Amino acid sequence: MNHVDKSDSFDPEAFRRKISESRTSAPDDAGDKEVELNPLARKIAQQFREDTYSPAMITGLLRLGEFVALAALGYIIHALYLDVGMRAFYVAVLVGGAGLGIVLLQLADAYQVPALRSPLRMTPRILAAWAAAFAVMALALFFFKSGGHYSRVWFASWFAAGAVFLVIERQVIAYAIRRWARNGTMERRAVIVGGGEPAKELIRTLEHQPENDIRICGIFDDRDERRSPSIIAGYPKLGNVAELVEFARLARIDMLIISLPLSAETRILALLKKLWVLPVDIRLAAHAKGLRFRPRSYSQVGSLPMLDIFDKPIADWDNVAKRIFDIFFSIVALALLWPVFIGAAIAVKLSSPGPIIFKQKRHGFNNEIIEVYKFRSMYTHLSDPTARAAVTKGDPRVTRVGRFLRKSSIDELPQILNVLKGQLSLVGPRPHAVEAQSHDRKYVDVVDGYFARHRVKPGVTGWAQINGWRGEIDHDDKIRFRTEFDLYYIENWSLWLDLKILFLTPIRLLNTENAY
């Protein structure tokens, strides 16, 4: 393996910019082409269909659970000992004390996975953090001359009960984490890209990490048996990089680890042009001797450095926040728009024979096929579930009611039900029909990296739509611009951006120029 010293000259941002330039200029993105997996790869992919819980999610839930439990302990002791109503200053101390305890436990690194696995070793730190929280509270009460308002017995009892709870609870958590690690509930699933000796060295290094939560699901490499054996360090080579894209869409993969030296920049860029369309973290193994990075340019797996190339968009708690956003505003929309739903349903039923709701197969998250709901806008015997023939101005297949529903986008309202089912988000790239075409070519054949839109859950409305890119696609450039706007949204996502798009959507719908 070639070793390159990058301690002074390596610039991760410049490297990522070069990746971005190469992906947009690629004339043929193989990551968009569907391939057939070999039987072994398909069998292994089926074993990893179930979702896992990331360490970030587990530790986040633990923080929340401990905060609630510590506050509840204080409340229960107050109710049993004082037998009076909870006063406002007791509530302030309960919430502030529990919150301060969690913050100090965080500062003591008590929420790191290795710490959770070793509760006995961490017990002194945990007790010290809890004691420090009470010391700060006692000091604050002293300076604000508020000590006389509180029961010292209650204060001391809460401290003792909280300490006992934390010690016992951390033993239970350690047992649970060991169990989750064994049954695969809490692990990060990884695929190694690249074979030969570099992959073998990487796997051996990972296996010797004492707190390793990485499960290697297989190896993919374009090279033949002479340079990349079929079995490497006990793991099978499951196919080439094109097959890896399909494998990662069938299995719930968290991470792709590229096992190539940084000096092989051309080959790395060629791989990334195929792999960036996947909703996974992409890392470059940086375990070569002499390879040095700036602290913010890499992450750690135990003591093994990984260069961060791409991060999975809208992951972990961001995903939870977006789901809460979707549910809340979907319920609000249903509460406000139910008269529109009823009116549209009656109008569709009276306009022509056939069902009120039209169902169409579209691409969802990670290219999964979902069934999207719409108010029927076409005559039943002329409808086109495949959407191969785009609706045009004056299209005879569209009913008079349907023409109004499509121009006003009221036909899309039933997709709120898809949002509540978890198939769509309120805001995201619009899902297109599986067979949708532009001039007899599927969108994937028109736009390089088209399937990168599916790295996040599709939406009822999106950044492209509020910027004027809605309605008929009668020119290749229209789907190219839509894709560019969708990729911008994915790379710049925030709840504020979602809120902006959601509230601008009704205003921008007034422009019906391209909506037929």
Predicted confidence (pLDDT) per residue in 414-442, tens digit: 999 999 999 999 999 998 887 776 667 77
Q: What angle do CA 103, 108, 110 make, to 5 degrees?
A: 90
Q: Span 68-96, mean pLDDT?
A: 81
Q: Categorize the per-residue pLDDT at 17 as very low, low, confident or very high, splitting at 50, 70 and 90.
A: low
Residues with Cβ within 8 Å of 39's Cβ and at least 6 positions away in sequence, in order, are none
**pLDDT (average), residues 251-277:** 83
Q: Please name the residues in contact with 189: beta carbons below 8 A apart, sequence gap of 6 or more.
A: 48, 52, 214, 215, 217, 251, 252, 253, 254, 255
Q: Is 269 in contact with 22 (CB distance < 8 Å)? A: yes
Residue 511: predicted pLDDT = 60
Number of separate helices (H) and strands (E) present in the chain: 17, 14
CB contact at 8 A, 24 and 452: no
Supply angle C-alpha 434, 455, 430, rounded to 5: 50
First to last CA, the chain: 59
| Reduced 3-state DSSP string for 146-159 | CHHHCCHHHHHHHH
pLDDT (mean) for 253-257: 90
Give the model confidence (pLDDT) of 24-71 as tens digits: 444 454 445 567 788 888 888 888 888 778 888 888 999 999 999 999
- Rounded CA-CA distance 411/357 in Å is 9
Query: What's the DSSP call for residue 438?
Result: E
Q: Per the structure block, which two tokens stand in for 23?
A: 């992906």
**CB distance 283 to 258 below 8 Å:** yes
Output the pLDDT for position 26: 43
pLDDT value of residue 5: 40
Is pLDDT above 90 for 126? yes
Helix (H) or strand (E) holding 286: none
Does residue 377 sit in helix, strand or coil? coil
8 A C-beta contact, residue 330 and residue 423: no
| Phi, psi angle pair for 488, to nearest 5° | -60, -45
Average pLDDT, the chain: 82
pLDDT at residue 11 tops 90: no
Contacts 24+ apart (CB under 8 A), 479-485: 479/438, 479/443, 479/446, 479/447, 479/450, 480/446, 480/447, 482/430, 483/443, 483/447, 483/449, 483/450, 483/452, 483/453
Of the chain, the percentage scoring pLDDT greater than 70 comes to: 83
> For tokens 């375990």, what's the residue?
287
Cα(169)–Cα(182) distance, integer angstroms = 20
| d(C-alpha 58, C-alpha 10), whole Å | 34
Phi-psi region of 363 (alpha: psi -120 to 50; beta: other; left: phi over 0): beta
Contacts 24+ apart (CB under 8 A), 132-139: 132/104, 133/97, 133/100, 133/101, 133/104, 134/97, 134/159, 136/100, 137/93, 137/96, 137/97, 137/100
Residue 433 φ then ψ, to 5°: -60, 150
Q: Which residues lie below 8 Å from residue 497, measured CB to CB, with a gap of 6+? A: 427, 463, 489
340 CA to centre of own chain: 33
Q: Which residues sit opposite 306 in a β-bridge?
A: 285, 299
Distance CA 54, CA 153 (A): 41
Cα gap 358→385, rounded to integer Å? 8
Domains within the chain, CATH numbers bracketed: 12-52+187-310 (3.40.50.20), 55-183 (no CATH), 317-508 (no CATH)
Please tell me the distance from the alpha carbon of residue 379 to that of residue 393, in angstroms, as a whole number. 16
Nearest to 430 by CA among 404, 447, 450, 407: 450
Greater confidence, 6 or 162?
162
Say which residue the tokens 């406000």 belong to.
Answer: 336
Distance CA 480, CA 492 (A): 18
pTM: 0.81
φ, ψ (nearest 5 deg) of residue 378: -115, 160
Token digits for 399?
């009913």
415: three-class secondary structure by DSSP: helix
Fill in the amino acid letter for 240: N
pLDDT in tens, 162-220: 999 999 999 999 999 888 877 777 888 899 998 778 888 888 888 887 667 788 888 99
Of the candidates 281, 511, 301, the residue with the CA atom closest to the CA atom of residue 408: 511
